[in-house]
Amino acid sequence: MLEFNMTIGGQQVPTKETFDVINPATGELVAQCPNAIAEDLDAAVAAAKEAFPAWSSLPDPERKAICASLAGKLEEEAENIAQTLTKEQGKPLGGLGSRFEMGGAQAWAGHTASLSLPVKVLQDDDQALIELHRKPIGVVGSITPWNWPVMIAIWHIVPALRAGNTVVIKPSHFTPLSTLQAVQAMNEMLPPGVLNVVSSDGKLANIGAAMSAHPDINKIVFTGSCGTGEKIMQSAAKTMKRLTLEMGGNDAGIVLPDCDPKEIAEGLFWGAFINSGQTCACMKRLYVHDSIHDEVCEELVNFAKTIPMGNGLDEANILGPINNQLQFDTVSRLVADGAKHGKVLLGGEPGEGLFFPITIISDLPADAPLIVEEQFGPALPVIRYTDLEDAITAANNSDNGLGGSVWSKDKEKAKGIANRMECGTVWINGHGGIQPNAPFGGVKKSSLGVEFGEEGLLENTNIQVVFS
C-alpha cells in the first residue's frame, strides 16, 4: 500500500492519526491518509506566510516560468495520479475519467501560467501619470471537493501562485490522496512553503472551518455545496477575507422543437451524465418541447443503454459509482420520490454498493424534488413544455444560476433565449464544456467571483493605484 504524507514547508509530514480512504467501486481500503490537527494547519499557514515575501517579489518572468513547469510535472506524474484518482473517486481511467481529468489539469496549469498582469496606465498627461498595479493578496486557502479533485485543485492553486500568492490547500476527505500526490510532485518545482497541503476527515479538527477563520489566511477559494459556502462566508467575515466561491448548480437545458432527437441525444447525455452526473455544471433538468418530447426521451434512453458502468480500473467501463454513501442516499431519495410521481424510462432502482444506474424520468410535476433540488448524480428529469416562455420561466425558477443550455438548429434564436437565462454560462447545442481562457462562474447562490482566464487571475490580486 502506498504511503501518503502532507506537504508543509516543502517537507513530507506524517501525522500520528490517519483515516481510511475507501474505493467507492469495491468498498476496499485504498490507503490510510494523514489526519491533521489544528497545529498542522497553523504550521502550513506559517510556512506559506514565511514563503510569501520571496515568492511575491520574484521577477515576473521567473515566477511565470516556474508556474509553467508545473504543467510538465503534472504530465510526468499523470498516470500514477490517475490510478490513485480512480481508486479513491471511482471514475474510470479512460474516457471522460481520470486520465481526462489529468489532461485538463495540465491544460489549465499551462494556460494560466502563460497569463500576465501588466501595469495599466489610467492617465498619462501633463497633469499626472496614474498607474493601476495588480498585487498579490498573501496566503490563499483552498478547499476542494471530491468530484474533480485534481483538476479543481489546479484551478485554485495555479492562478494563486501565478499572481504571487502562496497556498494552503485542504482536499475533500473522500478524495485526498491524488491531491497529496499532485502537491508533492509540484513541490519539486517550487520553493519550500509556496504550496502546502493538509488533509483531514474533520474528526480531530475542523480544518476547513479553521481555514476560513484563520487570521493569517488572506483569501479563501472554495468549490462545493451552497451550504458550506454560506458557512465559509460567515466565518470569513470576522477577518474580512477575500472570497471566491463556486457552489451548486441546478442547470437547465431547453430543447426547441426544430431539433433532431437522434442528432442531439449524445450531447444531451454527456451534458447530464459526465462523471456519473457528479459535476456542478452538469445538466440537472431538461425541458423538451411536447412535439419531440417522446422521441428525445427514446433516443436518450437508447444511447444511455450503450454506456457501460462499473469499476473504473476496468478499461471497458465509461461511468463509475457515486463517490460516497451520503451522496448515494441523496440520489436514492430523489429518484424514489420521482418514481412515485413520474414515469421511469430507465433505471430508477439503486444498484449494488454505491453504483446507481443511469436514470431518466419524465412527466414529473414542477415541484418534484428531483427537479427542484440538485441531485448531483446519474438521474435526469425530462420535463415536457408547450410554451417556450413557460420553459424559460421554469428554467430560471431556481436559487442557483451556474450554467444552462439551449438546443436548436437556429443558433441566432438560441442565442436570444440564452441571453434571457439567469446563469453564468450558457451553451448552444452542448452543455458543460469549459475552457481555461473563458471565465467561469455563476449568479444567485451559485457563485461569488469567477475562475479561469484573465478575469479569474485578477480574483487573486489586490489593486494598488499609483499617482506620480
Residue 128, burial from CB neighbour count under 10 angstroms (0-12, 13-18, 19+): exposed
How many residues does the structure list for the chain?
Answer: 468
Going by the DSSP 8-state scheme, the letter that residue 451 receives in this structure is B
Active site residue 280: yes
How far apart, in Å, are the Cα atoms of 275 and each of 91, 229, 288, 321, 399?
A: 6, 22, 23, 9, 24
Cβ neighbours around 100 below 10 Å, total: 19
Which amino acid belongs to residue 261?
Answer: P
- Determine the straight-line distance between the first and last CA of the chain, rounded to whole angstroms: 61
Q: Which three cell numbers stand for residue 427?
A: 451553451
Choose, from 33, 226, 259, 280, the residue flagged as catalytic.
Answer: 280
Contact 190, 162 (CB under 8 A): no
DSSP 260-273: -HHHHHHHHHHHHH
Active site residue 374: no
* Interacting residues of 118 by C-beta distance below 8 A, sequence separation 6+: none
Q: Which residues of 243-282 are buried (b: 16+ CB within 10 A; e: fewer)?
A: bbbbbbbbbbbbbbeebebeebbebbbbbbbbbbbbbbbb
How far apart, in Å, are the Cα atoms of 386 and each of 159, 230, 251, 298, 383?
A: 45, 37, 20, 19, 10
Choose, from 88, 101, 246, 422, the residue flagged as catalytic.
Answer: 246
- Neighbouring C-alpha atoms within 13 Å toward the C-beta of 306: 8
Active-site amino acid positions: 246, 280
